[in-house]
Amino acid sequence: MESREIFWNISQIGWLYALTFIAFLLLFYGCYDHVKFWGTGRKTGGGPPLRLRWKSFLSLALFQRGILKRAYPGIMHLFIFWGIIVLFIGTVLLAIEHDFLKPIFSYSFIRGNFYKVYSFFLDLFGLLAVIGTVMMLMRKYLFPEYRGVRGRPDTLAVWSLFFVLVTGFLVESARIRGTGAEEPFSPIGYVLSALLPRLFDAESLQLFHEVLWWIHLVLALILIAMIPYTKLFHIIAGSFLTLSDPKVKKGILSPVFSEPLRLEPDRLTRLSRLQLLSLAACTQCGRCEEVCPVVSDQSLLSPRRVMDGLRRELQRSNNHLGFLQNGAFLAGFWECLACRLCEEECPISLKVAEKIVDVRRHQVMALSQFPAELRSVFRNVETFGDPFGEGKYAREDWIQGEAVKRRLRNRNGCLVWIGCQSAFHERNKKVAWAFTKLLDVLSIDYFLLGKEEVCCGDLARRTGNEYLFRDSVLKNIDTFRRYGVQKIVTLCPHCFHVMKEEYPHWGGHYEVLHYTELMAEVIQQGKVPFSKSLDKKTVYHDSCYLGRYHDLYREPRSVLNHVLMDGLMEMEKNRGSSVCCGAGGGNFWTRGNTGERINATRLEEVCDKGAQIICTSCPYCLVMFEEAIRNQERQGLVAMDLAELLDLVKPSGTEK
């Protein structure tokens, strides 16, 4: 058989067009409602090149790379998604032929070999969609901890999809049996058609086909009409989002000031159009909630609830942050560590931390409402240029020896940015001292700013105080200009990120390296006099700002493997899945018991590996692990910075 009769056994076809018109009217009205809401958002100019947008769309939307990180839900979603896509394309092709090409041009293309291939692929992908839907229903009812399908609308949508698919196969089988066609290239319908003679005679078979055809049609149109009003809308919103916001660079906060003294219009009161689009793209799958280190029975924060709560509250307030009234909901925003673990786990990499910081900005800059602990921190940064309140003349107290003192402001080589933590915190002063000794051993030219440094601004920015961030950035950029700074090497990943990615908005364009990059480069060039002499079981903790923000996983490991006799041990959660130490997002300064709970949990993982040294390359992580070791009275375990480990193994007599 070269083709088939499209409306075999079906009369009153006019109802099909009427019902289809109503379904698509509801679909377009719902989509219009969403677009109208997105229109209340701030405009964001520019954007990445079209090539990167299409790459993001193909990778995340069409090929489902993000959701395939986990096998079961990835396969389930892939089967459903591509099943729906292929069935939709097949229906569109059928409509084009029947309603346009045949009546206007008397032309038909769904026939012959093309019809056989067409029918086979529709059956194949329809079967995959059924399998995926069954997998989703099994996950919902057999695994109570699964949170992907929530509430009646979501459940109704999944069951509707299941019955649309099943009735479609049954209608096909009844047509094949009723027409007596031989269609082995429609394998599912063909197999099912062999069972029908046992259940129906010829007359009842036609009735069965007609009734089921209308049921299938109505269910399919209901499903189409439901799309804008249920979680199914993420198919549309997510596709547009991946095409509009390809996440070329990670963790960069959008600016508040268009000029040093000029706030962008509505910047503190409204989210942007892309941010509103991303709220609609969220499926509430709960992956973010599963990995967030803050989430617990006592926590007010949940990335999933942040996305859902913001969507609901902003729809109610027409996208005005001033109308966020839920006190407990807002309090949870201050528990966020800005570690981006939730964003890495999200199938389409939704920017959760960015929205949390925007709410913090509104709370701090518009309402002056923020945790009491931050008042003194903000005052210290504003008055003394550092969150410790020590002042600029204490910035050089860590320096020992005339050799390093001669490096102060001498303009030779690259700038080594010490940062507030390494300049003022007693534990991290040792790291600054160890690193400068290493540079002297390696004969690398560098200079220090000492008392000319002020806070890089990351703390102020992540806690929502853009006024303070702006002032810190402009002071540092002016200092860099006076000293002719072109290349900066930082000890702190937070300083590294903000100078590399967020200073350029203010005109600060520099080559910025974290010191682990510099050490890895020197080792690669064969200039390091160190050997594999450290005989200690060592694990490495990936800091958030080096790892998830900049994908710097190889560099610190290459350095460690160069000096460890038995190589580096890896924790179960490493690289992109590494858990925050508990100090990020300003929580080093505001922590109640959140930070202590998180660093204690991370330390348990270290102890499970039987490690003697936990190595990190972030001053915040180092302090948090030292506190956890002290609080738990862990014997035989020490926390060290990578620079300190290198200082331990340098050959004797190499210091200058």
Average pLDDT rounded to a whole number, residues 452-472: 96
Q: Give me the residues paired with residue 638 across strands.
A: 613
- Cα distance between the two ends of the chain: 89
DSSP β-bridge partners for residue 489: 416, 513
CA atoms within 13 A on the CB side of 338: 28
In the predicted structure, residue 651 carries a pLDDT above the cut 70: no
DSSP assignment of 18-46: HHHHHHHHHHHHHHHHHHHHHTTSBP---
Instruction: State mean pLDDT over 238-260.
Output: 85
pLDDT at 12: 87
For the segment 641-647, the average pLDDT, to the nearest whole number, is: 92
Residue 1 has pLDDT above 60, yes or no: no
What SS3 string covers 283-315? CCCCHHHHHCCCCCCCCCCCHHHHHHHHHHHHH
HEC sequence for 59-83: HHHHCCCCHHHCHHHHHHHHHHHHH
**What pLDDT, on a 0 to 100 scale, did the predictor assign at position 178?**
84
Q: Which two three-digit tokens encode residue 464? A: 């929502």
pLDDT in tens, 255-298: 999 888 888 888 889 999 999 999 999 988 888 988 999 887 56
CA 158 from centre of chain? 26
- Residue 338's pLDDT band (cuts 50, 70, 90): very high
Q: What are the angstrom distances between the C-alpha of 417 and each of 426, 481, 513? A: 17, 15, 10
Specify which residues 615 forms β-bridges with: 540, 640
Quickly state the pLDDT bin for 69 (edges 50, 70, 90).
Answer: confident
Does 598 score more than 50 pLDDT?
yes
Which is more confident, 571 or 329? 571
CA distance 73 to 132: 9
- Residue count of the chain, please give it: 656
Residue 386, SS3? Answer: coil
Among 240-249, 349-358, 419-428, 525-534, which is the least confidently predicted range?
525-534
pTM (two decimals): 0.90
pLDDT of 608 > 80? The answer is yes
Residue type, 567: G
Lowest mean pLDDT among 199-213, 232-246, 396-410, 592-606: 592-606
Report the alpha-carbon distance of residue 57 to residue 314 in Å, rounded: 27
pLDDT at 593 over 50: no
pLDDT (0 to 100) of residue 644: 92
Lowest average pLDDT, out of 78-82, 150-154, 496-500, 579-583, goes to 150-154
d(CA 43, CA 147): 34
Residue 506 has pLDDT above 90, yes or no: yes
Q: What is the mean pLDDT of residues 347-358?
A: 92
pLDDT of residue 636: 86
**The pLDDT of residue 422:** 95
Q: Alpha-carbon distance 455 to 476, whole Å?
A: 8
Sheet holding 613-616, edge to edge: 538-540, 613-616, 638-641
The mean pLDDT value for 130-155 works out to 80
SS (H, E, C) 513-546: EEHHHHHHHHHHCCCCCCCCCECCCEEECCCCCC
Question: In angstroms, rounded to a whole number, what is the distance separating the alpha carbons of residues 359 and 463?
Answer: 10
Q: How far apart are CA 104 and CA 102, in angstroms?
A: 6
Using one digit for the tens of pLDDT, what is the confidence trace for 8-51?
888 888 999 999 999 999 999 999 999 999 999 988 876 777 78
Helix, coil or strand: residue 394: helix
- Check residue 171 and give its pLDDT: 92
Check residue 419 and give its pLDDT.
95
Residue 599: partners with Cβ closer than 8 Å, 6 or more residues away? 581, 582, 583, 624, 625, 627, 628
pLDDT of amino acid 298: 67
Residue 442 pLDDT = 87
pLDDT score, position 326: 67
Mean pLDDT of 213-226: 94
CB-based contacts of 75, cutoff 8 Å, min separation 6: 68, 132, 135
Which residues lie below 8 Å from residue 648, measured CB to CB, with a gap of 6+? Answer: 534
Residue 594: which pLDDT band, with cuts at 50, 70 and 90? low
Q: What's the rounded Cα separation, in Å, for the pair 257 and 105?
A: 59
pLDDT at site 652: 56
Mean pLDDT score of the chain: 89
Say if residues 31 and 234 touch (Cβ distance below 8 Å): no
Q: Say whether pLDDT at 388 is over 90.
A: yes
- E strands, 125-280, in order: 257-259, 262-263
Pairwise CA distance, residues 11 & 633, whole Å? 81
584 within 8 A of 620, measured Cβ to Cβ: yes
Dist. CA 330–CA 345, nearest whole Å: 23
Whether 361 shows a pLDDT value over 70: the answer reads yes
Identify the pLDDT of residue 7. Answer: 84
Determine if residue 62 is left, alpha or beta; phi over 0 gives left, psi from -120 to 50 gives alpha, anything else beta.
Answer: alpha
Please list the alpha-helical segments (H only) found in 385-487: 402-405, 419-424, 426-441, 458-462, 466-482
Burial class (CB in 10 A: 0-12, 13-18, 19+), 202: exposed
**Structural domains of the chain in order of their starting residue, each with its CATH number:** 58-242 (1.20.950), 259-366 (1.10.1060.10), 374-649 (no CATH)
Residue 59 has a pLDDT of: 85
Residues contacting 595, CB < 8 A, separation 6+: 581, 582, 583, 587, 588, 624
Question: Hey, which residues does 272 pair with through a beta bridge?
Answer: 42
pLDDT-based confidence at residue 416 (cuts at 50, 70, 90): very high
How many percent of the chain have pLDDT more than 90? Answer: 55
